[in-house]
Amino acid sequence: MADLIERLRDGLPDEAVLTDPDITGSYANDMASFCEAGAPAAVVLPRTVEQVQHVMRTATELRVPVVPQGARTGLSGGANASDGCIVLSLVKMDRILEISPVDRIAVVEPGVVNAVLSRAVAEHGLYYPPDPSSWEQCTIGGNIGTASGGLCCVKYGVTAEYVLGLDVVLADGRLLTTGRRTAKGVAGYDLTRLFVGSEGSLGIVVRAVLALKPAPPQQIVLAAEFPSTASACQAVCEIMARGHAPSLLELMDRTTLRAVNKMANMGLPESTEALLLAAFDTPDPSADLAAVGELCAAAGATEVVPAEDAAESELLLKARRLSLTALEQVRSATMIDDVCVPRSKLAAMLEGTAAIGEKYGLTVGVCAHAGDGNTHPVVCFDSADPDESRRARESFDEIMALGLELGGTITGEHGVGVLKKEWLARELGPVGLELQRGIKQTFDPLNLLNPGKIF
């Protein structure tokens, strides 16, 4: 331990190396409940690429595992520390290095907060679409690590579609540059995409070239109340089948609506079984909203109300962004699922999830990026009650099994981390798992980068 700390401080300022157990313990885990975490030997907060390289060279020489972290807003335990590891927190590398309106790119360090980048590019008339619910806290490096999505992905896509190039410090301290700054480029294997979603298990992202889009008009939101989740899901299918391109298509079930009202007193309709939010950011969204409103009514909506203005639209979006936080307050702990299914199977996923909650006698609220088929069932339970904790884990597993049975995936945007690694093998199959482990071995032969995650 003493040798490790001394070696780290040889290439880092003293204030960048934290060893007080009370402080390092606060970096031990992300926001996922029910995930094991160890005690780090040290937390380092580098500010430069060279300092990150020094950390990795030291780790390699001394065979010490390294756990990369951003803002620790993750929901799968992917940033949890392991015993005796170096936690490599990248939050101090938070500079926006370049914004180019001509090339429509931004070049950023990994600690840049998503919302900070979004506001900065907006000053140039540009738009960075990926917008996770935690966008006011989460970092671009973390977004890249988990290939995160957000509310607007139904129209604009996920993080992977906006990462053009990366600078990555490898396990042995070498610096790798991948990708490009150009609008097109197919030279060699796409290593950039390989790092996106790798959860810090292949290398440390220290710089990213991100694609930007012209800023769209302010979106206007429509809210539709439904007597069942099935009718709301039917409306989603009709909206997509008719060729509409909403900038947002989100669903909240009754349990979620009540939780948000209790936490924030927002006056959402608690008597309805499902609330569907649809938005358009076209120059004149009124025609699109009217057409979608008719489809919702035909699917059984009891009330369809377009927002009067942008301010009212933002209020509805705030309610949706608060969903996970509100459900976390229902009981002492939550297990947040992240199952994505084909849109045509969305109703079956939600109805099956409700049945699983009833079977185990647990509160399970669902909010969803409905336009993507990406559901977030939240199992609420008392972590101090062993029986309730057991039922929570079993229900969580059944929800993931249901998603796979419906042709879906165990994670749409949160990542595998610790929480879902046993399920990854079931989804990939033996051949897929063998090849992925081979890739890990190529990039990290000593298994120092985020060990115990994903596989």
Taken as a whole, the chain contains a residue count of 455
Residue-wise pLDDT tens digits, 84-141: 999 999 999 999 999 999 999 999 999 999 999 999 999 999 999 999 989 999 999 9
Task: List, in sequence order, every residue forming a beta bridge with 224; answer none if it has no partner.
Answer: 276, 304
Global confidence as pTM: 0.95
Q: Give the three-state DSSP class for 243.
A: coil
Residue-wise pLDDT tens digits, 8-21: 999 999 999 999 99
Neighbours of 359 (CB within 10 A): 12
d(CA 81, CA 70): 13
Q: Domains (ranges, CATH) in the chain? A: 2-89 (3.30.43.10), 96-214 (3.30.465.10), 220-405 (3.40.462.10)
d(CA 172, CA 446): 9
In this prediction, residue 212 carries a pLDDT of 98
In this prediction, residue 441 carries a pLDDT of 98
Q: Read off the DSSP letter of residue 216.
A: P
* Of 3-17, 241-255, 325-339, the least confident: 325-339
What is the helix, strand, coil percentage profile of the chain, to 5?
Answer: 40, 20, 40
In this prediction, residue 34 carries a pLDDT of 74
Q: Read off the DSSP letter of residue 449.
A: B
Spatial contact of 341 and 388, defined as CB atoms under 8 Å apart: no
**Residue ranges of E strands in 370-416:** 374-381
Residue 393 has pLDDT above 80, yes or no: yes
Residue 76 has pLDDT above 90, yes or no: yes
Average pLDDT over residues 245-270: 94
Average pLDDT for the chain:
96
Residue-wise pLDDT tens digits, 192-231: 999 999 999 999 999 999 999 999 999 999 999 999 999 9
Tell me the DSSP string of 311-336: HHHHHHHHHHHTHHHHHHTTSSEEEE
Q: Read off the DSSP letter of residue 424.
A: H
Task: List, in sequence order, every residue forming a beta bridge with 334; answer none if it has no partner.
Answer: 380
The residue among 68, 44, 112 whose CA lies nearest residue 202 is 68
The CA–CA distances, whole Å, from 356 to 33, 93, 203, 349 equal: 20, 43, 38, 10
Average pLDDT over residues 415-427: 94
Of 247 and 267, the one with more pLDDT: 247
Residue-wise pLDDT tens digits, 154-185: 999 999 999 999 999 999 999 999 999 999 99
Residues near 345 by Cβ (< 8 Å), separated by ≥ 6?
Answer: 373, 406, 407, 408
Spatial contact of 454 and 417, defined as CB atoms under 8 Å apart: yes
Average pLDDT over residues 337-359: 97
The residue among 257, 208, 244 whose CA lies nearest residue 366 is 257
pLDDT more than 70, % of the chain = 100
Torsional class of 94: left (φ above 0), alpha (ψ -120 to 50), beta (otherwise): alpha
In this prediction, residue 33 carries a pLDDT of 67
